[in-house]
Amino acid sequence: MSNASLSPLPSADRPDVTARLRDALLEASFTADGLLELLGAPAYAALSRSETVPALRATRGDTPLELLVRLFLLQQPASYARVADVLPVDACLESGWLDRVGDDEVVATVDVRPYGGPGGEDWFIVSDLGCAVGGAGGIGNHAEGVVLGVGGASTTLAGLTVRTPVSAALDLGTGSGIQALHAAAHATRVTATDVNPRALHITALTLALSGAPAADLREGSLYEPVADDETYDLIVSNPPFVISPGARLTYRDGGMGGDDLCRSLVQQTGERLNEGGFAHFLANWQHVEGEEWTDRLRSWVPRGCDAWIVQREVQDVTQYAELWLRDAGDHRGDPADYQARYDAWLDEFEARKVRAVGFGWITLRRTGAAEPSVVAEEWPHPIEQPLGETVRAHFDRVDYLRSHDDAALLEAHFALAGEVVQEQVGLPGAEDPEHVVLRQNRGMRRATRVDTVGAGFAGVCDGTMSAGRILDAIAQLVGEDPVALRDRTPAQIRLLVEQGFLEPA
Ligand SMILES: C[S@@+](CC[C@H](N)C(=O)[O-])C[C@H]1O[C@@H](n2cnc3c(N)ncnc32)[C@H](O)[C@@H]1O
């Protein structure tokens, strides 16, 4: 792997210096809150679009915080004397966090981005220069092994991970170490792997600078670094999921054809999970001519696992190629090269009969169930992050439904979930709605169409009466045969429970 144009990294073997640096950063309020307050939301958001001008304008003063933002996020040199007022400058130079330029200036050797943990922790994410926010395209760094900081995909995965206390967690393709850092807050042991040794080094720095316990760092592809008999309670991976005509950037191009890397990762996970353990992946998948994407994804699910697959977005092949050409900054280079790369991308898709690419999440839970539940659905609408609790609750409901046949459902008691509202949809002025929609304002923020019986049923559910008794009362009210109603309604109840509108009381 060529890392020729990347600068040497700070030492990972100087915990004394890292601890002093952390103290100095905190002392200067170089934290997620401090940063947002200083820059303001627009300048901060501009950074994630690789635009630094607003942030440079917001840091023209001389406070320690402005100095640190220019140094560690905007790659600006600063005077040795001024930095010495804020940081243990000689120790940072000696251990490689800073480098000298000219006679009296210093620069940072890596980006350091303050990052707020879910429990209010002040964490820091280390990444290659210019990669803390906005990705590699912004700086045009095309070194193969460049290590990016936090992107939208990183925070999506962190948010949807189930955060129950576990003993062993694995972060596969750790990059900057963000997922390992989150896991360290609720796992006794964290293993982090990456094919890129530079990423493992950076992960060690991220954990140490964040004051988190060190992880077991292992180099290798996919599950290679994991022994055959090693299993985990939690596996997370934001893998190099980009479907590309050839491997160029390690952080995104897995180097396997089509969506094979994501497929292999998911398929090989079954035997790595402990009973009851969760695995969370972000993935891209091909929409191939003549094939349902849901069938493709279902075929990836390993035996012995329940799965919940959510397709969040679909892009046609041209949008997809453009997205990743821009991500690498190719649109800023030679137009002929850009065209050739674009062409190669479309050739690859044409050869594989790929019409579009799906983006989404795959969650597996290992279970001993004889009939695993595999839900593959499209949900492109806004959701509420963090989603981890919603994901855990989905699998609890799967267990509940699996163990309750229709007769048992009618005996059971249900309560309407919190913050569910009813919407009536129809033509303005019409006496009766054309249909009724139940909408959740939490979690997946789902909406589902129900008939009048379904809406009435949900409205009455407060846990006091059994489902069967409620249906009998509704039958009497609408003049329907109670036996027929008991016969046809469990399917609807099942759906409302599966989607979280009704909770077993
Ligand atoms: C999209 S980045 C994710 C980084 C980080 N986990 C996050 O969530 O932001 C993918 C990471 O996987 C690593 N990687 C690439 N190919 C891999 C492979 N075959 N096996 C393991 N890791 C790989 C890359 O070096 C990179 O660090």
- For every residue of 227-289, which 3-state class applies, written as one string? CCCCCEEEEEECCCECCCCCCCCCCCECCCCCCHHHHHHHHCCHHHEEEEEEEEEEEEEEEEC
For residue 175 and ligand 1, the question of a CB distance below 6 A is answered with yes
Q: Which ligand 1 atom is nearest residue 237's CA?
A: 6
Q: How far is CA 424 from the centre of its chain?
A: 34
For β-strands 166-172 and 187-194, DSSP reports them as parallel
pLDDT score, position 224: 98
Measure 240 CA to ligand 1 centroid, in angstroms: 5
Tell me what pLDDT residue 140 has: 57
- Which of 397, 485, 386, 366 minimizes the C-alpha distance to 444? 386
**Distance from the Cα of residue 187 to its chain's centroid:** 18
Residue with CA nearest ligand 1 atom 8: 154
> What's the full length of the chain, in residues?
505
Residue 377: count of CB within 10 angstroms of its CB? 13
What's the CA-to-centroid distance between 155 and ligand 1, angstroms?
A: 14
Q: How many CB atoms lie within 10 A of CB 243?
A: 26
Kindly state the tokens that stand for 125.
């994410």
CA of 37 to the centre of ligand 1 (A): 32
Most distant CA atoms of the chain, gap in Å: 91
| Residue 440 parent element (H or E) | strand 435-440
> In the prediction, which pLDDT does 141 show?
59
Q: Is 199 in the pocket of ligand 1 (CB under 6 A)?
A: yes
Among 129, 237, 225, 117, which Cα is nearest to 175's? 237
3-class DSSP state of 12: coil
Q: What's the 253 CA to ligand 1 centre distance in angstroms?
A: 9
Residue ID of nearest Cα to ligand 1 atom 16: 254
Q: Which residues is 342 bridged to in the sheet?
A: none
pLDDT of residue 7: 87
Residues of the chain under the 70 pLDDT cut: 1-4, 134-142
State if residue 196 touches ligand 1 by the CB under 6 angstroms criterion.
yes
> Residue 112's closest CA among 132, 86, 91, 98?
132
* Cβ-count burial 183-192 (b if 16+ within 10 Å, e if not): bbbbbebbbb
What does the pLDDT read at residue 5?
75
Ligand 1 centroid, distance to 194 Cα (angstroms): 6
Q: How many angstroms does the Cα of residue 238 sit away from the middle of ligand 1?
A: 7
pLDDT of 3 reads 55
Query: If you measure from the C-alpha of residue 254 to the centroid of ligand 1, how many angstroms do you get, rounded to a whole number?
Result: 8
Q: Distance from the CA of 135 to the center of ligand 1, in angstroms?
A: 14
What pLDDT is attached to residue 136? 58
- Nearest Cα neighbor of 270 from 294, 301, 240 is 301
Dihedrals φ, ψ of 449, to 5°?
Answer: -80, 135
User: Please, which residues bridge with residue 253 across strands?
Assistant: 241
- Taking residue 31's Cβ as centre, other Cβ atoms within 10 Å add up to 19
Cβ of residue 200 lying under 6 Å from some atom of ligand 1: no
DSSP state, 338? H
Q: Please name the residues in contact with 224: beta carbons below 8 A apart, sequence gap of 6 or more.
A: none
The strand pair at 232-237 and 166-172 is best described as parallel
**Closest C-alpha to ligand 1, atom 18:** 221
- Sequence-distant (6+) residues with CB within 8 A of 216 are 189, 190, 191, 192
Q: Indicate the SS3 state at residue 155.
A: helix
The protein residue whose alpha carbon is closest to atom 22 in ligand 1 is: 173
Tokens of 109: 């050797």
108 lines ligand 1 (CB under 6 A): no
Identify the residue whose C-alpha is closest to ligand 1 atom 9.
154
391 CB burial (10 A radius; 0-12, 13-18, 19+): buried
CB of 174 within 6 A of ligand 1: the answer is yes
Closest by Cα among 224, 260, 225 to 241:
260
Give the single-character DSSP code of 429: T
Packing angle, helices 388-402 and 152-160, rounded to 10:
40
Residue 157 CB less than 6 A away from ligand 1: yes
Nearest residue CA, atom 12 of ligand 1?
A: 173
Structure-token match 């997946």, residue found: 444
Report the separation in Å between the CA atom of 394 and the middle of ligand 1, taken as the mean of its atom positions: 27
Q: For residue 437, what are the β-bridge partners?
A: 423, 449
Q: Which residues contact 45 (CB under 8 A, 6 or more apart)?
A: none
Atom of ligand 1 nearest to the CA of 261: 19
Return the exposure string of 330-341: e unless at least 16 CB atoms fall within 10 Å of the residue's CB, then b.
Answer: beeeeeeebeeb
Its pTM stands at 0.96
Residue 171: exposure state from Cβ atoms within 10 A (0-12, 13-18, ≥19): buried
Question: Could you write out the three-class secondary structure of 456-474?
Answer: HHHHHCEEEEEHHHHHHHH
Cα torsion through 162, 240, 286, 231, rounded to 10: -50
Residue 3, ligand 1, Cβ within 6 A: no
Residue nearest to ligand 1 atom 20, measured at CA: 221
